[in-house]
A and B are shown apart, each in its own frame.
Chain A
Amino acid sequence: MLVQNFPFFSIVLAMFSGILSSVLNGKQARNVSLGVIGSTIIMSAAVFFWCLGNGESYTYMMGHFPAPWGNEIRAGVLEGLTALLFSVIMLLSVLGGMRHTFEDVEPSKVNLFFIMIDLMLSSLLALIYTNDLFTAYVFVEINTIAGCGLIMIRQKGRSFSAAIRYMIMSQLGSGLFLIGLTLLYDVTGHLLMSPAKETVASIEAAGRYEIPMLVILAVISVGLAIKSGLYPFHSWIPYTYGYATPTASAILSGLVSKGYIFLLMKIFYRVLGQENVIASRMVNVLFLFGLAGMIMGSVHAILEEDTRRMIAYSSVAQIGYIYMGIGLGTESGMVAAVFHMFTHSATKALLFISAVGLYEVSGEKKDFRSLRGAGYRNRLAGVGFTVGALSMVGFPMLSGFISKLLFATSALQSPHKMMLTLIGLAVSTVLNAIYFLRLVITLYGRAEQVAVKGKQRCSFVFGGAIVCFILLNLFLGLMSQPVVRAITEGLEMFD
């Protein structure tokens, strides 16, 4: 089937378009990027619906070398859905931040920016689709490099130090991940996920290598947790998300951290075995860190004055939600975590992009108080920000509510963690409300006369991106059932 080739096509297409863009100028590179992302959307949708229709996943052999030696790609419902949503959000983020990209980046380097976008897309898709641990590692590194490039390309202010922070923390995470892989290879002798899982199962059944297996699990979890910004390892987040160019912030916070979480879930299910992970109590650690992140991220956000850093700290809290869902250690908790991944991608990208629209009309100051009345000056951005904020607070009809609902109902199934989860959810909602709604009130407060430079009216592309983001949020909030069903099916296919 042609559709079965699509995952491979989309990865390679994105990769090679990056190479192509190096000889193009900025505008052309942009068009190439948009074209590639657009075709990725179509291909991912095709993969998703094909898998959904057939009710099965498939592995795709690269170059017809069979299992123990060849490289493999695997696509199922969940992979297709994730790739689809990620590429949609990527497209909207690139479009929404387009004008700023061209302002922030030196004209001669604009094509480099789009090369980074292409590489980012390709590595994200590879993380989603791969069935091979070492391929995963390679693309984790590509992802890190692309991420660094995206941050650093805005050669202003603190973006250098932000990039260095990101680089160091990310490399730490990658290093741990690599160590984990090496140990795993030592123990199992496989790098492909499916045979590795079989070996792990036989090892577990024989009761051998208990401590090495625990170390592998811990090192891989911690490595990927650092890279996705779980609470105690979050120190790089406010810098990278706060000082990068808007598109980069949206992509880094919305997609990149999720890519690592997705990889972690995949490793849990397809290599280490979810039941072993639960039995090892590693989930409890993730649960506690997640819970701590939910609270502390929001507390940091409340103390923050700089709008974008505030949104960045809110990411820490939301990543905490996702890990808390994983940490519940139940099927429904995992579904909730995946759904929240989607929610957060859609919402956080919306927040970053609309915050930019509000900045533009308020004199580009960092302090959130300077945004007073900005909701009147750029209405669409104001509405977008409000919708995003309400979704994060868990307002019914928006996607955040469904996440919260899924988390709460799944918490009821694990009696020991129930009360902690529920109280954590409620408290973190209150904290979310405090900093997000404070900002919303500021947006609609009385405007003092602000010297506004630049265009007053937002561009058509920007407006379109915001509207699409809002619709995406409403879609996830109102039509969540098919999405949740697809996630459940996809997780079942993982085994």
Chain B
Amino acid sequence: MNQILLCVPALLPLAGVMALLISGIFGSRRETDSGKDLMEKYLFWYVAALTLANSLVLWRLILWSGEGESLVLFRLYGELKVMFCLDKMGKVFAGVISVLWPLAVLYSFEYMKGEKRKYTFFSYYLMTYGVTAGIALSGNLMTLYLFYELLTLATFPLVLFPMTKDALKASRRYLYYSIGGAAFAFLGLVFVLTFSITGNTAFLPGGILDLGRANSRRNTLLFIYLLAFFGFGVKAVVFPCHRWLPLATVAPTPVTALLHAVAVVKSGAFAILRLTYFSFGTEFLLGSWAQWTVMAASMVTILYGSTMAVREAHWKRRLAYSTISNLSYILLAASMMSSLGLAASLCHMVVHAFMKICSFFCAGAVMHQTGKTYIYELDGLGRKMPITFGCLTVASLSLIGIPMFAGFISKWNIAGAAFACGMEGLERFGSWGLLPFGAVAVLLYSALMTAVYMLTVVIRGYFPQISRQAGGDLSRPGARQNTPDIRQGNLDPGWRMLLPLVIFAAVIIGVGLHSQPLTEFLMVIGGEGA
């Protein structure tokens, strides 16, 4: 029973979407106003029920699935099987998305109220859930690669959704980058298959490379690892492959928040973790030039992302740059190639998901209520939207890494892993071991920048600058001329938007105050993985 259940989270949403699309084709012919309202209600319950059911199945699997249970769906070619299997690391990712998705669906129903083509939007939103669950559940690199490609297909219509010129450009770039990245990741897949000790691509902690054969062609394999790293790194927005993300913020906010801050980018990071710790294995990579390159690339990305975020005046794009830098925290921790590093990177993966989706949802709430998208337009909104800005403050403080918030925990772990790696590296690899210490400095710089780019928003919200409010800001480029005057009184959005925000903020504080269960669980994974 459990075995069969393993494929449900991936396939249920896909099946649901097929039904929805087919009914959409036939339903579009009888469009009346009252019928439309009815359809909308029905659509809400349909999507909500499917999402909830899927999350429940995921939790059932997380809590009660035995180790080593796996399900082979079909064979693509030879030993390349599409196989589902939920190990501890998969459980972490599955747990995160299963919590975030229902809340995000709730939020998007409020956000998308009044939009046309809801069918399309929610079809692909739901489909992405299935595909992301597939990534979490994939038991070998082939399955991961399959769902990674599917993820591109399922999410690009969501970027294209506004159908504007910008959206067209953004979705085009997103597709080119993602498919191109996958083409390089494919090489990694082929090499892992050829050099694996098991004859297939299944994930095993510590990697599956046949070290005897692999070491005879060490440099080739390291080069291929790098290619695959940057290939998967496209979705994880590593420096030279990051340019699609800021553009992709043209998508509706629920998409940017859930997909481009959590599902898509974290799938990239997850894939890299799988590639590093479960396919190539740390034993092969530790101390190699590939490790130092990867580490340096993620450090550069952190510096670049946090600096660019400060420069950016568009709120969502600023958050996108923040995502770029934060994703590289995960990769930086991963590049330590140690058990501490794996645990730290998973920790940041979980924590950052909550922080970033919370900040994006706040930005979305403001956009939805007032139509303001630039940071200099936010003057004084903090008093009019108290709950929204309260949650934003929590998320900001956590992103900076103030103690008592969740962000602190993960940053602490990353710094700890970097120190440990540096100490060991100095002994074993000479001057290269200095690089992890540089990572700590990068973390500090990035924390400072985070404080600047997040707190400016919050401060502007609470303490308006009178001179700007007096006038002139409307003439600035990009400012919306036609936004209605801010109505008096409370501007907070409806409960469907507020509830997710409050829950996220509560989780951030909760994890910040009591992180032990999480970190202990992650340390177990780390101990196994490296």
User: Do A419 and B175 form a contact, CB below 8 Å, given A394-B186, A396-B76, A396-B145?
Assistant: no
Q: What residues of chain A lie closer than 8 Å to B157, measured between beta carbons?
A: 444
Taking a contact as CB atoms under 8 Å apart, the answer to whether B172 and A426 are in contact is no
Question: Per-residue CB proximity of B46-90 to A under 8 Å, as 1/0?
Answer: 000000000000000000000000000011111010000000000
Q: Which residue of A lies closest to B146 (CB)?
A: A396
Taking a contact as CB atoms under 8 Å apart, the answer to whether A396 and B149 are in contact is yes
Q: Which residue of B lies closest to A437 (CB)?
A: B175
Q: From residue 183 to 201 of chain B, which have CB atoms closer than 8 A to chain A?
A: 183-184, 186-187, 190-191, 193-194
Q: What residues of chain B lie closer than 8 Å to A481, measured between beta carbons?
A: 75, 77-78
> A394 CA to B180 CA in the complex, in Å?
11
A62 at the interface (CB under 8 A from B): no
Q: What residues of chain B lie closer than 8 Å to A444, measured between beta carbons?
A: 157, 160
Q: What residues of chain A lie closer than 8 Å to B76, measured between beta carbons?
A: 396-397, 401-402, 477-478, 480
Residue of B76, B78, B191, B194 most packed against chain A (CB within 10 A): B76
B31 to chain A minimum Cβ distance, whole angstroms, is 15
> A134 CA to B168 CA in the complex, in Å?
55
> A397 CA to B193 CA in the complex, in Å?
17
Taking a contact as CB atoms under 8 Å apart, the answer to whether B168 and A445 are in contact is yes
Q: Which residue of A lies closest to B224 (CB)?
A: A422
Taking a contact as CB atoms under 8 Å apart, the answer to whether B77 and A480 are in contact is yes
User: Do A437 and B179 form a contact, CB below 8 Å, given A426-B184, A426-B227, A480-B77?
Assistant: yes
Taking a contact as CB atoms under 8 Å apart, the answer to whether B186 and A437 are in contact is no
A95 to chain B minimum Cβ distance, whole angstroms, is 24
Taking a contact as CB atoms under 8 Å apart, the answer to whether B74 and A430 are in contact is no
Q: Which residue of B lies closest to A409 (CB)?
A: B190
B176 at the interface (CB under 8 A from A): yes
Question: Per-residue CB proximity of B145-158 to A under 8 Å, as 1/0?
Answer: 11001000100110
Dominant SS among interface residues on chain A: helix
Q: What residues of chain B lie closer than 8 Å to A405, measured between beta carbons?
A: 77, 80, 190
> A42 CA to B168 CA in the complex, in Å?
47
Question: Per-residue CB proximity of B507-520 to A under 8 Å, as 1/0?
Answer: 00000000000000
Q: What residues of chain A lie closer than 8 Å to B156, measured between beta carbons?
A: 441
A22 at the interface (CB under 8 A from B): no
Q: What residues of chain A lie closer than 8 Å to B227, measured between beta carbons?
A: 426
State how many residues of chain A have any CB contact under 8 Å with chain B.
35
Taking a contact as CB atoms under 8 Å apart, the answer to whether A402 and B77 are in contact is yes
Q: What residues of chain B lie closer than 8 Å to A477, measured between beta carbons?
A: 76
A404 at the interface (CB under 8 A from B): yes
B78 to chain A minimum Cβ distance, whole angstroms, is 7
> A430 CA to B74 CA in the complex, in Å?
28
Q: What residues of chain B lie closer than 8 Å to A437, measured between beta carbons?
A: 172, 175-176, 179
Q: Which residue of B lies closest to A480 (CB)?
A: B77
> A156 CA to B193 CA in the complex, in Å?
52
Taking a contact as CB atoms under 8 Å apart, the answer to whether A408 and B146 are in contact is no
Q: What residues of chain B lie closer than 8 Å to A390, measured between beta carbons?
A: 153
Taking a contact as CB atoms under 8 Å apart, the answer to whether A441 and B183 are in contact is no
Q: Which of B25, B145, B183 contacts A429 (CB 8 A)?
A: B183
Taking a contact as CB atoms under 8 Å apart, the answer to whether A419 and B220 are in contact is yes
Question: Per-residue CB proximity of A406-448 to B under 8 Å, as 1/0?
Answer: 0011001000001100100111011001100110010011100
Taking a contact as CB atoms under 8 Å apart, the answer to whether A433 and B190 are in contact is no
> A395 CA to B151 CA in the complex, in Å?
12
Q: Which of A418, A419, A426, A478 contacts B183 (CB 8 A)?
A: A426
Q: Which residue of B lies closest to A438 (CB)?
A: B172
Residue of A379, A396, A412 most packed against chain B (CB within 10 A): A396
Q: Which residue of A lies closest to B231 (CB)?
A: A426
A393 at the interface (CB under 8 A from B): yes
Q: What residues of chain B lie closer than 8 Å to A480, measured between beta carbons?
A: 76-77
Q: Which of B153, B171, B187, B194 contacts A426 (CB 8 A)?
A: B187
> A189 CA to B461 CA in the complex, in Å?
93
Q: From residue 119 to 167 of chain A, which have CB atoms closer than 8 A to chain B?
A: none
> A395 CA to B168 CA in the complex, in Å?
22
B333 to chain A minimum Cβ distance, whole angstroms, is 28
B320 to chain A minimum Cβ distance, whole angstroms, is 21
B524 to chain A minimum Cβ distance, whole angstroms, is 32
Q: From residue 170 to 225 of chain B, which have CB atoms closer than 8 A to chain A?
A: 171-172, 175-176, 179-180, 183-184, 186-187, 190-191, 193-194, 220, 224
Q: Which residue of A lies closest to B181 (CB)?
A: A430
Q: Which of B75, B176, B220 contacts A433 (CB 8 A)?
A: B176
Taking a contact as CB atoms under 8 Å apart, the answer to whether A441 and B171 are in contact is yes
B441 at the interface (CB under 8 A from A): no
B139 to chain A minimum Cβ distance, whole angstroms, is 15
Taking a contact as CB atoms under 8 Å apart, the answer to whether B176 and A441 are in contact is no
Taking a contact as CB atoms under 8 Å apart, the answer to whether B74 and A478 are in contact is yes
Taking a contact as CB atoms under 8 Å apart, the answer to whether B190 and A412 are in contact is yes
> A441 CA to B178 CA in the complex, in Å?
14
Q: From residue 33 to 79 of chain A, which have CB atoms closer than 8 A to chain B?
A: none
> A478 CA to B82 CA in the complex, in Å?
11
Taking a contact as CB atoms under 8 Å apart, the answer to whether B180 and A430 are in contact is yes
User: Do A404 and B194 form a contact, CB below 8 Å, given A396-B146, A433-B179, A480-B77?
Assistant: no
Q: What residues of chain B lie closer than 8 Å to A433, measured between beta carbons?
A: 175-176, 179-180, 183
B163 at the interface (CB under 8 A from A): yes
> A310 CA to B184 CA in the complex, in Å?
24
Q: From residue 470 to 498 of chain B, which have CB atoms closer than 8 A to chain A?
A: none
> A412 CA to B153 CA in the complex, in Å?
29
> A401 CA to B78 CA in the complex, in Å?
13
Q: Which of B25, B77, B160, B191 contacts A445 (CB 8 A)?
A: B160
Q: What residues of chain B lie closer than 8 Å to A427, measured between beta carbons?
A: 183
Q: What residues of chain B lie closer than 8 Å to A396, measured between beta carbons?
A: 76, 142, 145-146, 149
Question: Per-residue CB proximity of B213-243 to A under 8 Å, as 1/0?
Answer: 0000000100010010000000000000000
> A474 CA to B494 CA in the complex, in Å?
46
> A480 CA to B76 CA in the complex, in Å?
8
Q: What residues of chain A lie closer than 8 Å to B190, measured between beta carbons?
A: 405, 408-409, 412, 422
Q: What residues of chain A lie closer than 8 Å to B191, measured between beta carbons?
A: 412
B266 to chain A minimum Cβ distance, whole angstroms, is 21
Taking a contact as CB atoms under 8 Å apart, the answer to whether B194 and A394 are in contact is no
Taking a contact as CB atoms under 8 Å apart, the answer to whether B176 and A394 are in contact is no
Q: Which residue of B lies closest to A379 (CB)?
A: B25
Question: Per-residue CB proximity of A364-382 to B under 8 Å, as 1/0?
Answer: 0000000000000001000
Taking a contact as CB atoms under 8 Å apart, the answer to whether A445 and B163 are in contact is yes
B179 to chain A minimum Cβ distance, whole angstroms, is 4
Question: Per-residue CB proximity of A158-202 to B under 8 Å, as 1/0?
Answer: 000000000000000000000000000000000000000000000
User: Do A395 and B160 form a contact, CB below 8 Å, given A404-B186, A434-B176?
Assistant: no
Taking a contact as CB atoms under 8 Å apart, the answer to whether B149 and A408 are in contact is no
Q: Which residue of B lies closest to A430 (CB)?
A: B180
Q: What residues of chain A lie closer than 8 Å to B142, measured between beta carbons?
A: 396
Q: Which of A379, A395, A419, A425 contacts B149 (CB 8 A)?
A: A395
Q: What residues of chain B lie closer than 8 Å to A394, measured between beta carbons?
A: 183, 186
Q: What residues of chain B lie closer than 8 Å to A484, measured between beta carbons?
A: 77
Taking a contact as CB atoms under 8 Å apart, the answer to whether B176 and A422 are in contact is no
A85 to chain B minimum Cβ distance, whole angstroms, is 18
B294 to chain A minimum Cβ distance, whole angstroms, is 19
Taking a contact as CB atoms under 8 Å apart, the answer to whether B186 and A408 are in contact is yes
Q: Which residue of B lies closest to A427 (CB)?
A: B183
6 closest pairs, A vs B, by CB? Answer: A429-B183, A433-B179, A430-B180, A446-B163, A408-B190, A396-B146
**Seed contacts A396-B142, A426-B187; 9 additional CB < 8 Å A-B pairs:** A402-B77, A405-B80, A405-B190, A408-B187, A427-B183, A429-B180, A430-B183, A444-B157, A481-B75
Q: Show the binding face of A for B, using Cβ within 8 Å.
A: 379, 390, 393-397, 401-402, 404-405, 408-409, 412, 418-419, 422, 425-427, 429-430, 433-434, 437-438, 441, 444-446, 477-478, 480-481, 484
Q: Show the binding face of B for A, using Cβ within 8 Å.
A: 25, 74-78, 80, 142, 145-146, 149, 153, 156-157, 160, 163, 168, 171-172, 175-176, 179-180, 183-184, 186-187, 190-191, 193-194, 220, 224, 227
Name 16 A/B residue pairs within 8 A (Cβ), A-sorted.
A396-B145, A396-B149, A401-B76, A409-B193, A419-B220, A425-B187, A426-B227, A429-B180, A433-B175, A434-B176, A437-B175, A441-B156, A444-B160, A445-B160, A480-B76, A480-B77
